[in-house]
Amino acid sequence: MSQVTIDTVEDDARKYTRRWLHSGDIAYATLKDGTRVRYVRSGEGPHLVLTHTVRTQLDIFQFVIPLLSRHFTVYALDLPGFGWSDLLPERPKDEPTLRAQLREFLQVLGLRRPILAGESIGATLSLSLAAELGDGVDRVVAFNTYDYLPGLERANLLASVIIKGVRAPLIGPVFASKENRSITGGILKGGFADPRKLPDDLLDEISRVGMRRDYGKGMRRLLKALPSFVAARSRYGAIKVPVTLVWGDHDWSSLADRAGVERSVPAPKVMTLAGTGHFSALERPQDWASIIISAAKN
């Protein structure tokens, strides 16, 4: 497979997504510094913004967007540095930077008081942004927050070896450049209670994105910045809107990690999904959508 360049990104960015997004828009929002953020928009109703997990992209929501778009105008984005958004490999990938970019994305699209929902780092960003915006958001539904360490390294032995290698000072760039479908699939499957729930074609797409020039460099920056997501937990106490916290019972987080998050958020509603790992939007899409729909009614 050839290396993807910026000239072909716009066409490639639509190929896979249009297979499952039969109606709705696939577009780019441009931030004030020129960064292009790919997003999809589908449905009608209150604004709902979905933010994806570590090492994935908006296509991880392919099973829940058709369900949610019956009730909401759904927006899902590729965070800068992920998916088919601009990669910005030399720029920071820490939580404050991604939070600021998510906030600007909402501003560019004119989304006022949206519901924020996310998984993994997307859940953490949704919570930290809600703390910043106050009543500028309606509520938050956070699935499997990623605000603890070691996180991804708990997925399985392969993930532990690879992630530690990627973060290492001298050999890190070498490890980051070696990503392929087998390695990516092996790591991601460690985030499922049932690894068969990772669609083969989605793994193909995620692997294809990983071949973009300098993608590995950006992911290395993110992995080295994961402590900033842990620090974001200290912001949760400022949240003023209703929050639902959802955990997969096979999530990477420990019971102590979860309890720490639950103590940090003011009066959250807490739910646990049985037989579910870190990637709950893929593993339990009906429940995922139902939880958001129910939260919006309360």
> What pLDDT digit, counting tens, does each position of 48-81 carry?
999 999 889 999 999 999 999 999 999 999 999 9
Check residue 154 and give its pLDDT: 58
Q: What is the mean pLDDT of the chain?
A: 89
DSSP state of 53: -
Kindly give, in sequence order, each residue whose CB lies less than 8 Å from that of residue 294, ignoring residues fewer than 6 positions away.
none
Answer yes or no: is 73 within a domain.
Answer: yes
Q: Name the residue type at position 235.
A: R
Number of domain units in the chain = 1
> Residue 286: is its pLDDT beyond 90?
yes
Determine the distance from the C-alpha atom of residue 277 to the mean position of all C-alpha atoms in its chain, rounded to a whole number: 14
- The rounded distance, in Å, linking the Cα atoms of 36 and 39 is 10
Report pLDDT for 175. Answer: 47
pTM of the model: 0.91
Distance (Å, rounded) from C-alpha 211 to C-alpha 203?
13
Helices (H), 121-180: 121-133, 157-167, 172-177
pLDDT of amino acid 104? 97
Residue 7 pLDDT: 36
Residue 118 covered by a domain: yes
Q: With cut-offs at 50, 70 and 90, classify the pLDDT of residue 223.
A: confident
User: What are φ and ψ of residue 270, in 5° steps?
Assistant: -120, 135
Lowest mean pLDDT among 96-100, 217-221, 227-231, 280-284: 217-221
Residue 110 lies in a domain: yes
* Residue 112 included in any domain: yes
- Is 285 inside a domain boundary? yes
- Separation CA 127–CA 129 (nearest Å): 5
Q: Which residues contact 200 (CB under 8 A, 6 or more apart)?
A: none
pLDDT at 6 over 60: no
Do the domain assignments include residue 134?
A: yes
User: Among residues of the chain, what percentage have pLDDT more than 90?
Assistant: 74
Please compute, for residue 263, the number of CA atoms within 13 A of its CA located in the half-sphere on the CB side: 7
Residue 123 within a domain: yes
Look up residue 118 and give its amino acid. G
Tokens of 135: 């009543």
Q: Has residue 171 been placed in a domain?
A: no
pLDDT tens per residue, range 148-199: 876 665 555 455 555 555 554 544 454 455 577 888 888 899 899 999 999 9
Among all chains, which residue has been given the structure tokens 């909402």? 106
- Measured CA to CA, the distance from residue 141 to residue 200 in angstroms comes to 28
DSSP string, 83-137: TTS---TTS--SHHHHHHHHHHHHHHTT--S-EEEEEEHHHHHHHHHHHHHGGGS
Sheet of 139-145, strands arranged across: 25-30, 36-42, 73-77, 47-51, 115-120, 139-145, 243-248, 269-273
For residue 123, the enclosing domain spans: 9-152+225-297
Q: What is the CATH number of the domain that holds 95?
A: 3.40.50.1820
Cβ atoms 257, 166 nearer than 8 A: no
Q: What pLDDT is recorded for position 4?
A: 37
**pLDDT tens for residues 268-280?**
999 999 999 999 9
Least confident stretch, 5-14, 77-86, 201-210, 250-259: 5-14
Report the first-to-last Cα separation within the chain, whole angstroms.
Answer: 48
Q: Which runs of consecutive H residues, i.e. helices, occur in the chain?
A: 9-15, 17-20, 65-68, 95-108, 121-133, 157-167, 172-177, 181-189, 200-209, 215-224, 226-231, 255-264, 280-283, 285-297
